[in-house]
Structure 1
Amino acid sequence: MRGHIINILLAGGLLLPSVARAQDGAETPAVSIAYNAALVSDYRFRGISYTTRHPAVQVGADLTTRSGWFLGTWWTNVSDYGTSNLEIDLYGGYGGSVAGFDYSATLYTYVYPGGVDTDYYELQGTIARTIGPVTSTLTLAYTPNQWNTDRDNLYVALGSDVALGQLPLTASFSVGRENGSYDHKWDWSAGLTYKLDALDLSATYVDSNYKGALEAGKNARAGVVLSAKASF
């Protein structure tokens, strides 16, 4: 079972849809839709490669409402996961702000068309705080015992994005710990993202302490992930 996400941190995914906010005094629309598409040199999820260290094409769409509710989907190719070569993430939840903290609660469903005993769901919550140029995010992801596993899984991660002065450049750092599907696995990453209008170009170093059997050990080794992501 998969150990969603960004994630990064990239590429990440993870990536939760943001709650729409008013800008330049304009009223926040009741409903807004955003799309994204990315090409990455390796699809990493919590330190593990799901494309056996090969490139992936990823697309997604997010619908957000002024009240804070959101829905989304995200698609990527994977390498023979339970006989499936496609991952489809479906998610929805609620997000908002209180006392200077941004929060979200999301239900994820991970679908692998044609896969055998691969699909599962996960509950995820985030709390973020911005102080000056630094935005830090705490992520808790819980996967209960379900049809494709006999163990609960808990993932806890802390990440920070640091705006580098007046440059369209952001440094990102994250560390996460997972227990259940993996036994006491740690993963960590550090990267830079350059924003060019609607295009984000990033390079991220990703590593973990996992040395599991078969291909999992190779796929968890250190590597640099290059990403080009367009949002529109």
Structure 2
Amino acid sequence: MNNSKSLLLAGLVCCGAAQAQISSTVALTSEYQMRGIGYSGNDPALSATLDWAGESGAYAGTWVSNTDSFRDGDPYDDGSDIEVDLYAGYNLQMANGMRYGMIGYYYYFPDTNYNINYTEVGFSAGYGNFNAYYYYSDDMISTSLESHYVAADYTFNLPWKTDLYLMAGHAFGEYYRETALTGAHEYSNWEASLKRSFGPIDTKLSWVDTDLHGRFHNSGEYLRNDGRFIFSVSHTF
């Protein structure tokens, strides 16, 4: 069993020991994007979570969304139309205001043309409105190739209960260098978002973009990576 699967299972096991708080979030977004790449065929995406949080800082949950990354007949088409993410982790808040976290993911895609399931581990550190992240997979999209992603974000609290969220990240590693096999390339991405809640409804308007260019730049329907606005609404129960 690889390290990322071990971490995920360990998080799930530890979660049975403390008092729990259960929550669920339903979200509708104009496009499902992750790290600047669109994964819903430029169509809206509906997602839902079911989360457990313990008093100790341990947590676990699942996230489900529709997805569509390739046109029918594309040589890279995996046939996926549903993504299920399982995750577990631990957050630690220090007395000096620093906070640290770790998380394990298992990305599962049912009923695909070939196996694209994979695991990933992440680590975070933050203070105040600033956060930094590092994510690692030793088997990105089941290719046996390593993937790394680093990112940082900062939230400005504005008047009228509005937040300005700024984020920048960079994806690199073997998976992104083996372009003939994966069709990918190392890249940076960024996001600027305005967030505001209206009663029980949370809204977010984002501008996302990447530095992918040349034959890797894509402003079409699938796997978009150009600059664009994305709007989402969500509610947490």
C-alpha deviations, 1:114-133, integer Å up to 9, x for none? 12121000001111211xxx
CA distance in 1, matches of 2:217, 2:144: 22
The alpha carbon displacement at 1:215 in A equals: 8.6
Q: Comparing both structures, which one devotes a greater share of its residues to strand?
A: 1
Q: Comparing both structures, which one devotes a greater share of its residues to helix?
A: 2
SS of equivalent residue, structure 1 residue 221: coil
Amino acid at match of 2:167: S
Output the aligned Cα RMSD.
1.9
Gaps of 5+ in 2: 1-17, 70-76, 177-184
The alpha carbon displacement at 1:151 in A equals: 1.9
For the pair 1:168 / 2:173, whether they are aligned, the reply is: no
Which segment drifts farther, 195-204 or 54-63?
A: 195-204
Give aligned-pair identity as a percent: 25
The alpha carbon displacement at 1:158 in A equals: 0.6
1:192 aligns with 194
The alpha carbon displacement at 1:213 in A equals: 5.2
2:88 aligns with 92
Distance 1:196 1:161, change over 3 A: same
The alpha carbon displacement at 1:217 in A equals: 6.0
Displacement over 4 Å in runs of 4+: 212-217
Q: What does 1:99-114 correspond to in 2, within 5 Å?
A: 99-114=96-111
The alpha carbon displacement at 1:206 in A equals: 0.3
TM-score where L is the length of structure 2: 0.79
The alpha carbon displacement at 1:216 in A equals: 5.3
CA contact (8 A) 1:48 1:216 kept: no
TM-score where L is the length of structure 1: 0.80
C-alpha deviations, 1:164-213, integer Å up to 9, x for none? 13x22111000000002333310001010111122111110000012475
Residue among 207, 217, 222 paired with 2:227: 222
SS of equivalent residue, structure 1 residue 84: coil
Gaps of 5+ in 1: 1-28
2:31 aligns with 42
**Greater CA radius of gyration, 1 or 2?**
2
Q: What does 1:60-139 correspond to in 2, within 5 Å?
A: 60-80=49-69, 82-98=78-94, 99-115=96-112, 116-130=114-128, 135-139=129-133
